[in-house]
Chains A and B, each alone.
Chain A
Amino acid sequence: KAGVTQTPRYLIKTRGQQVTLSCSPISGHRSVSWYQQTPGQGLQFLFEYFSETQRNKGNFPGRFSGRQFSNSRSEMNVSTLELGDSALYLCASRPGEDTQYFGPGTRLTVL
């Protein structure tokens, strides 16, 4: 089975721009979660989607949003980028109540 895929793998943007990151879960997994990883704050939960519905949202400003499509693929969007948004963004999928499997991540650099 193919693993979780994320595109793009690397991204450079400037302050004020917006960005969209994409995640394709493992086939058959309907739950997708997003995390932000930074050296200062560690791994922080952004949001979780299941069957196109947002189930949980972490403590991030409204500039961070996401959605899930009927094929379980998910996108997250960050508007009005700030320098502090530079991070590794990880997507994870899971089959029901089981372990989350993480993708390779998208490394976003904001200049």
Chain B
Amino acid sequence: ELKVEQNPLFLSMQEGKNYTIYCNYSTTSDRLYWYRQDPGKSLESLFVLLSNGAVKQEGRLMASLDTKARLSTLHITAAVHDLSATYFCAVGNAGGTSYGKLTFGQGTILTVHP
């Protein structure tokens, strides 16, 4: 059974600091996604990582993928309050099942304070 584990689950950051969220998964997959969810809202797509060594950046967020280690990271640079949200990683097409079936991590609740 595929397991997707994120850590930390709770992250309290000061504005201006850097930090990394880790996502480990247990089965071979060719798609790794990062989503953001604000309280009471739906999921917003941030990144899709397709291959080993893939790196994508958008603003203060940078995601990377190491398929050999089955590890993805979401790095936050110089955090600002607007980044406060819950971040999920998700694995798609694990074991060649389907791109329509995502297995999510538990989510990391990020709070950025002054």
> Is A42 an interface residue when CB atoms closer than 8 A count as contact?
yes
> Is B68 an interface residue when CB atoms closer than 8 A count as contact?
no
Give the contact-size bracket for chain B: 20 to 34
Task: Give the number of residue pairs across the A-B interface with Cβ within 8 Å.
Answer: 61
Hey, what's the 0/1 contact readout for A93-109 against B, CB within 8 Å counting as 1?
Answer: 01011111111110000
Bound Cα distance from A88 to B90, whole angstroms = 18
Q: Are A43 and B45 in contact (CB under 8 A)?
A: no
Majority DSSP secondary structure for residues of A touching B: strand
A56-B97, A98-B48, A99-B48 given as contacts; is B42 within 8 A of A90 (CB)?
yes
Q: Are B98 and A48 in contact (CB under 8 A)?
A: yes
> Is A64 an interface residue when CB atoms closer than 8 A count as contact?
no
How many of chain A's residues have a CB under 8 angstroms from any CB in B?
Answer: 26
Q: Are A56 and B48 in contact (CB under 8 A)?
A: no
Closest to B33 in A: A99
